[in-house]
Amino acid sequence: MGTSGIGKDDLQRNTGIDLLRGVSILLVVLHHIGLRIPLKKGVLAAFVPKAVLSGLNYNGYEAVFIFFVISGFLIAGNVLRRYGVLARVDLRAFYARRFSRIVPCLLVLVAVLSVLHLFGVQDYVVHREGQSLPRAIVAALGFHLNWYEGMTGYLPGGWDVLWSLSIEEVFYLGFPLVCLLVRRNVVLVPLLVLLALSLPITRAALEGNEIWQEKAYLPGMAAIATGVLGALLVARYPQVPARTARLLVWLGLLAMGWVMFDGVAIWGLLRNGYMLVLTGAALCLVLASSWLRSGTPLRGFGWLRSWGRLSYEIYLTHMFVVTALVRLYKAAGSHVAWGFLWYLPALPLCWLLGHLVERFLSTPAERWLRARMLPKAPLSSPIAEAASL
């Protein structure tokens, strides 16, 4: 993040995964603030290169694809640790774990968003032509909110974040069934490779619909398949020379930096192929995180690891903070030049809300559900299971 699941101690030793998730969720939050209060229009632009400010503000979409790679890596890795091979996955246990992790927070979020819509709270009303609250609820709970937005337009921000969850959960509804049907890695691996490499092709094929191109199932599933391949590789080769793992770290960091801070150049060179560079970079880093696993956490990055451990909760709830602060920013008549100051309270508040949700909702609900759905299974850390955003 043997055949046992990843526990809290295991996850704490794997600081690389936590850090990568922390960076990813931070980029998502910065993106949603930056769309409304862009850093490149503020005073920071006089001191910081605009390419850096743009990289901080406009890589939220790419960060979600990093999450997809991590998701495939963690969940397939958990199956391999529990059962040895993917073909032995226990369907009931697999779905029970996914349900107990995903559904409690999802239900509460949809309920809160629905109440805000019914009370007509600004920024939470589903109002586009062809959209309605009942249909948005069905799309969110039926894991096709991405398709719904692709056909009708963007939903309010609090709903919009659920597009990635739709892709992820549809993948995991079918994933164990495919593993049981295919059974042999000699067949499964080529299928996963084809899916992973299809990412630029499926994106290019959808260029007529910008929303659907970004949020379609196949591109996101291609990134998840990349992570599954990584888990199979680690299971096949549990150890590699340290220099090989360190090389992967540098390759991953360089490739990811290229995507995030030189987007115009890489797009001009590779077009949709830049997404393969991104998922390949994420794969390098998750592989290295397993092969270089250490019990000594990096000093000074505890806060970022904490963001990574709370990434699912922060992802689902951060728009409440962003929306409220942007409203205050506008009401105060603040000039965009000093907009960066509003980031200072936004980030800790996003973390705090995610922490409260994890402490009082997601972890207690998951433990309660697992105790009833998996009475004989040892509880593993909710965060280790949380490959979702």
**Digit-coded pLDDT (tens) for 70-101:** 999 999 999 999 999 999 999 999 999 999 99
Mean pLDDT of 50-73: 96
**What tens digit of pLDDT does each residue of 294-327 get?**
655 678 899 999 999 999 999 999 999 999 999 9
Q: For 128-149, what is each residue's pLDDT tens digit?
A: 999 999 999 999 999 999 999 9
In whole angstroms, give the CA distance from residue 54 to residue 173: 36
The pLDDT value given to residue 297: 65
Per the structure block, which two tokens stand in for 186?
């000699």
Q: Which residues of 11-22 are buried (b: 16+ CB within 10 A; e: fewer)?
A: bbbbbbbbbbbb
- Looking at per-residue confidence, does 387 or 32 come out higher? 32
Alpha carbons 281 and 256: distance in angstroms, whole number: 6
Collapsing DSSP states into helix, strand and coil, what is residue 92?
helix
Using pLDDT thresholds of 50, 70 and 90, give the confidence band for residue 381.
Answer: very low
Confidence check: pLDDT of 382 > 90 = no
Between 281 and 382, residue with greater pLDDT: 281
Is the pLDDT confidence value at 4 over 70? no
- 153 DSSP 8-state letter: -
Least Cα distance to 341 among 27, 33, 52 occurs for 33
pLDDT of residue 11: 36
**C-alpha–C-alpha distance, residues 352 and 32, integer Å:** 17
Candidates 271, 265, 315; CA nearest to 109 is 315
Q: Domain ranges in the chain?
A: 8-385
Instruction: Output the 3-class SS for 51-75.
Output: HHHHHHHCCHHHHHHHHHHHHHHHH
> Would you place residue 293 in the very low, low, confident or very high pLDDT band (cuts 50, 70, 90)?
confident
